[in-house]
Amino acid sequence: MTLGLSRQELRRLRVGLLFALPWIIGFLSFTVYPIIASFYYSLNVYTTFGQPLQWVGLSNYVKLLGQDDLFWISLYNTIYMVVFGVSFHIVLAIVLGLLLNQNLRGVSIYRTVYYLPTIVPIVATSVLWMWVFNPEFGLINSALSLLGIHGPGWLTDPVLSKPSMILMGIWTIGGTLVIFLAGLQDIPQHLFDAAMIDGAGALQRVRNVTLPMLSPVIFFNVIIGVIGGFQIFAQAFIMTNGGPLDTTLFYALYLYRNAFEYFKMPYASAMAWILFLVVMITTLIIFRSSARLVYYEGEER
């Protein structure tokens, strides 16, 4: 079977496939196979660790959704971080982007300063913020003590643990900020000039020109932020290990515990597939809503 190709074209096809073969093998071995295997594992249980799997159908999913309170706690904590953390991150990045988009002397230095923390490994960042949040000698409480204020236990207070994680997110805002800066600099200047001629003030120009033209960039960052928010793990694992009172027990951390601490790999596989469905449905909802909220230059409305 030659697929209607000449001998020379077949030779080129074979050469191309040979060059692509290492990637194809890696993709099938390390992506496709684990996906299929995890779904199969999610429909089984271990009778004894190390022994053959026993088919149980949807029992793992039923147990997760109907009997596991920690599953719902971890899902709630993760959704909290996605809703409030991503919203705060996006709004702050837009505000900082507007400030750093000004044609002022030395502004490139400030842009560099905001971006530098993003290249720090997440483990080092988490250890650093453990010190910043320390209730006895941390930077924040030490500064508050100078004002005569007794600082709280940021990571040990169930009420403040998740807001503290969101506050920590400011440290890594540089990556999002750079994307917003690129989007802001891509907005045509004549739109602002026309708005000024019409008498629009600074806030009106932001509302009626900047934000609509920036909406594709906002949409992109929201999607990336939501997907990343559902996978938050390292900060909680290093800083709080899910405490206090399971208030930072995020979904990925609970999945990790089931897989590598409790050795319930089929149960963890079921959790992974539920997470996949939650992220996919959330992303589809955002995509559907983008038709009314996102403006692309050149499209007709």
3-state SS string over 95-161? Answer: HHHHHHCCCCCCHHHHHHHHHHHHHCCHHHHHHHHHHHCCCCCCHHHHHHHHCCCCCCCCCCCCCCH
Q: Do 182 and 274 sit in the same domain of this protein?
A: yes
Give domain status of residue 134, yes or no: yes
How many other CB atoms sit within 10 Å of the CB of residue 257?
A: 18
CA distance 285 to 279: 10
CA distance 19 to 14: 9
Which pair of tokens denotes residue 25? 């093998």
Give domain status of residue 110, yes or no: yes
CA distance 16 to 107: 48
Average pLDDT over residues 197-222: 91
pLDDT at residue 200 tops 80: yes
| Confidence category of residue 296, pLDDT binned at 50, 70, 90 | confident
Residue written as token pair 């629009």 = 200
List all residues 6 or more positions away from 277 whose beta carbon is below 8 Å from its beta carbon.
none
Q: Which residue has the higher pLDDT, 119 or 7?
A: 119
Positive or negative torsion for Cα 84, 88, 89, 91? positive
Partners of 54 in the beta sheet? 45
Q: Do 32 and 82 sit in the same domain of this protein?
A: no
Q: Do 89 and 199 sit in the same domain of this protein?
A: yes
Task: Give, in order, the Cα–Cα distances in Å from 233 to each of 44, 81, 168.
Answer: 26, 12, 14
46-50, 52-56, 140-144: least confident range: 46-50
Q: Do 159 and 250 sit in the same domain of this protein?
A: yes
CA distance 283 to 111: 30
Average pLDDT over residues 105-130: 90
Q: Do 27 and 169 sit in the same domain of this protein?
A: no
Q: Do 220 and 107 sit in the same domain of this protein?
A: yes
For the entire predicted model, the pTM comes to 0.90
Share of the chain above pLDDT 90, in %: 70
| Confidence category of residue 298, pLDDT binned at 50, 70, 90 | low
> What is the domain extent for residue 12?
7-42
Cβ pair 90, 225 in contact under 8 A: yes
Cβ pair 103, 183 in contact under 8 A: no
* CA distance between the termini of the chain: 50
Q: Do 32 and 65 sit in the same domain of this protein?
A: no
Average pLDDT over residues 265-280: 96
pLDDT at residue 273 tops 90: yes
Give domain status of residue 217, yes or no: yes
Q: What pLDDT shows up at residue 15?
A: 92
| DSSP code of residue 240 | T
Domain count, the chain: 2
The helix/strand/coil state of 269 is helix
Q: Do 12 and 98 sit in the same domain of this protein?
A: no
Task: Give, in order, the Cα–Cα distances in Å from 284 to each of 192, 222, 224, 278.
Answer: 33, 12, 13, 10
pLDDT at residue 301 tops 70: no
Q: Do 178 and 147 sit in the same domain of this protein?
A: yes
Q: Do 185 and 84 sit in the same domain of this protein?
A: yes
pLDDT at residue 48 tops 90: no
Give domain status of residue 163, yes or no: yes
Q: Which residue has the higher pLDDT, 47 or 204?
A: 204
Q: Do 35 and 83 sit in the same domain of this protein?
A: no
| Confidence category of residue 221, pLDDT binned at 50, 70, 90 | very high
Average pLDDT over residues 109-132: 92
Q: Do 23 and 92 sit in the same domain of this protein?
A: no
57-61, 99-103, 176-180, 270-274: least confident range: 99-103
Give domain status of residue 230, yes or no: yes
Give domain status of residue 299, yes or no: no
Q: What is the CATH number of the domain that holds 212?
A: 1.10.3720.10
- Nearest one of 259, 280, 284, 257 to 269, comparing CA atoms: 259
pLDDT at residue 299 tops 70: no
Q: What pLDDT shows up at residue 29?
A: 95
Residues 39-42: contacts with CB within 8 Å, 24+ apart? 39/269, 39/273, 41/265, 41/266, 41/269, 42/266, 42/269, 42/270, 42/272, 42/273
Q: What pLDDT shows up at residue 297?
A: 67
Cβ pair 161, 247 in contact under 8 A: yes
Q: What pLDDT shows up at residue 3?
A: 64
Give domain status of residue 300, yes or no: no
Give domain status of residue 50, yes or no: no
pLDDT at residue 70 tops 90: yes
